[in-house]
A and B are shown apart, each in its own frame.
Chain A
Amino acid sequence: MSGEDIERFTTWQIIQHALWAFAFLTLLITGLALKFPDNFLSQAVLGGLGMGLRANLHRLAGIIFWIVGVAHIVYYTAIDRGSKPILPSLQDGKDIVQDIKYHLRLTKEAPKFGRYTWIEKFDYWAGAAGSFIIGITGLALWQSYGGTAGFGGANILSGLSLQVYNWFRMIHGWEAILAGAVIVMLHFYMTVWRPGNFPLAMQVWTGKMSRHHYEEEHPLELEELDKAKK
């Protein structure tokens, strides 16, 4: 049954990813336009939206990002108490070494991955760390000095010193550039441009992945799934 589809993601996971993707891209576009206002693309964004709408869209997307993030953490710590294949393991270290050797053509043997490849785990955990840094600083920027214009200006952190605000602002921008670079370069390569996935890896949108594709990318998990069936 090589035409069989394997269920890879649940509807809940698909929704989380879609909301995050939408929020992330909105944040990236409305944020970078402010970070690099002289760039012609930024000018198009700023000119098209105006400073007020830009700020409100950025905040709205930030709120969505936060809500999904909190729901994600609550769900996977309090509700779903099953095994967590996304957790890093020793095997990942071995996989990285093997994978790099394989890519450098030092060995012909490609590493075999389970449910998540080391790159997917990197995407997840680096993304989580980055989201935490950007999320905390962003919320602080908004609720301290940035709260006057636009909605939700409660200024609950008005006691934040301007110096800390300025540092937060730097960190927020830098971390966003790092996150943007990883997502646009690495994540988009893996899911859009990579031969085999082009023009778009559909599993995160439909939840399903072909058995053939699964065999290539996650053979170890497939073995276990087959074992469990028997």
Chain B
Amino acid sequence: MRGSTEVPLKKCMLLIVLATLILAAGSGPVSGGAVLAPTGAGYDANTCVDCHSDSSKVDDTSAASDWKDSVHFENDIGCERCHSASVPAGRLAAFDAFGGSYRDDHVDLILEEDSSYKAPSAFEIEGSTTDYSTVVRAGLERQQSVAICARCHGLTEIDPDAPKDVFQDYIQSAHGQSVVVRGLGDPSKVSDYTGLTDAAVCVDCHDPHATAAKDDPDSPTNEDNRFELCISDACHASDDVMAKYGLTNSKASYDKTQHGLIATYGSAEDAESVPGCLDCHKIENSHKILPASDPDSAMNVANIGETCADKDCHGVEFNLGAGSMHGKDEGTTIAGLIDLFYTIVIPITVGFFALYILLDFTLLIGKKGGE
């Protein structure tokens, strides 16, 4: 097998680190008794991709082909990073959720009666000690992506080269707080990821297979595209979802603001000049979208003036006070009185003069006729 002789030094080092971590965690292999970190012999991700690129073997080859275009592929991050349960018990104990109860698709297929399918296994792939029977099947709960991505992007030291602050930023964000803290109580229990299932998790914005860098113009997270992510029908453009959390339909309310009107009806140049969601709401990066109540939020009452003045926008520090960019002021008492006043005065005025005009017109026409 090619793998055994080509393992880069870095990977060996990593495996040593992993092994150390497992021992240090004191919990040994992840619960369920099934499984284990790949030890030494190496794991060639291409073994998955070989079959999963072949439409005669699998129904859907998109995962493999998407992955080949991904930033993960470019950085030599293979299938097993996410799909294998063979990871150390990190602080999130990511795989508590799967231990014991899950089986992988390969095994399911083997167990089917009359199955002619032969799944790869550690026994069949010579030289490999990876237990393929522990490959995590697809169709995970969305929320579990947080734990899976966090394995490299912040929580553990599995991959020293992966951007690390992603998870730390996310966990402080309104989204992360909703999913992990409010939803869980205890972020170490992935199995409790049953709380606020609506808040954005990693895979809602980043395609798990075709994961693209944000400077890729085709990436959904690219500056020119990401507005659509926030205001998708499942998220901030949904009345129902937003109402659950005391928020307004952000798309509808944004569209009514001067920013939104220019974005919708202005020229391409005008539209470019107004802020989209993240221009105002993010701190440092898009993972750290803080709730406005957070004193660090760009949208906090104390900072919002500076936010408007910043970034070549208004250049002036507004005193926004408690007002809302998203039209919540329309629900205040004074706003209600303004609406009430005009919804009474306008119809009365118009009605009175419409009647007057009608009477006047018929009177004058009658007079002319009588003359």
Task: Report if A and B associate in a common complex.
Answer: yes
A102 to B360, CA, bound (A): 9
Q: Is the CB of A174 within 8 A of B346?
A: yes
Q: Is the CB of A174 within 8 A of B338?
A: yes
Partner of B318, one of A46, A103, A158, A174: A158
Q: Is the CB of B318 within 8 A of A145?
A: yes
A67 at the interface (CB under 8 A from B): no
Stretch at the interface among A23-31, A56-64, A83-91, A161-169: A161-169
Residues of B within 8 A of A164 (CB): 321, 323
12 additional A-B pairs beyond A46-B265, A149-B262, A160-B319, beta carbons within 8 Å, are: A51-B267, A148-B315, A155-B316, A161-B322, A162-B323, A164-B321, A164-B323, A181-B350, A185-B353, A185-B354, A194-B360, A195-B368
User: Closest CB-CB distance, A191 to chain B, in whole Å?
Assistant: 12
Q: Mark B309-323, 1 if CB is under 8 A from A, else 0.
A: 000011111111111
Partner of A163, one of B322, B342, B345: B322
Range class of the A interface residue count = 35 or more
A186 at the interface (CB under 8 A from B): yes
Q: Is the CB of A195 within 8 A of B265?
A: no
Report which residue of A100, A162, A165, A186 has the largest number of chain B beta carbons within 10 angstroms of its beta carbon: A162
Q: Is the CB of A158 within 8 A of B360?
A: no
Q: Is the CB of B353 within 8 A of A182?
A: yes
| A-B residue pairs in contact (CB < 8 Å), sample of 24 | A50-B267, A50-B270, A51-B262, A51-B265, A51-B270, A147-B316, A148-B314, A155-B314, A155-B316, A159-B319, A160-B319, A162-B325, A163-B321, A163-B322, A163-B323, A163-B329, A163-B332, A165-B323, A166-B330, A167-B334, A174-B346, A175-B342, A178-B345, A181-B350
Report which residue of B265, B270, B329, B332 has the largest number of chain A beta carbons within 10 angstroms of its beta carbon: B265
Residues of A within 8 A of B338 (CB): 167, 170-171, 174
Number of B interface residues in the complex (CB < 8 A): 47
A6 at the interface (CB under 8 A from B): no
Query: What 3 pairs between A and B have smallest CB-CB spacing?
Result: A162-B323, A161-B321, A163-B323
User: Closest CB-CB distance, A190 to chain B, in whole Å?
Assistant: 9
Residues of B within 8 A of A155 (CB): 314-316
Q: Mark A171-183, 1 if CB is under 8 A from B, else 0.
A: 1001101100110
Contact surface of B with A, Cβ cutoff 8 Å: 258, 261-262, 264-267, 270, 273, 313-325, 327, 329-330, 332, 334-335, 338-339, 341-342, 345-346, 349-350, 353-354, 356-357, 359-361, 363-365, 368
Interface of A is mostly: helix
Residues of A within 8 A of B364 (CB): 194-196
Given contacts A46-B265, A52-B270, A158-B317, contact A166 B323 (CB under 8 A): yes
A162 to B307, CA, bound (A): 14
User: Closest CB-CB distance, B263 to chain A, in whole Å?
Assistant: 10
User: Closest CB-CB distance, A176 to chain B, in whole Å?
Assistant: 10
Q: What residue of chain B has the Cβ atom nearest to residue A182's Cβ?
A: B349
A193 to B365, CA, bound (A): 12
User: Closest CB-CB distance, A33 to chain B, in whole Å?
Assistant: 9
A131 at the interface (CB under 8 A from B): no
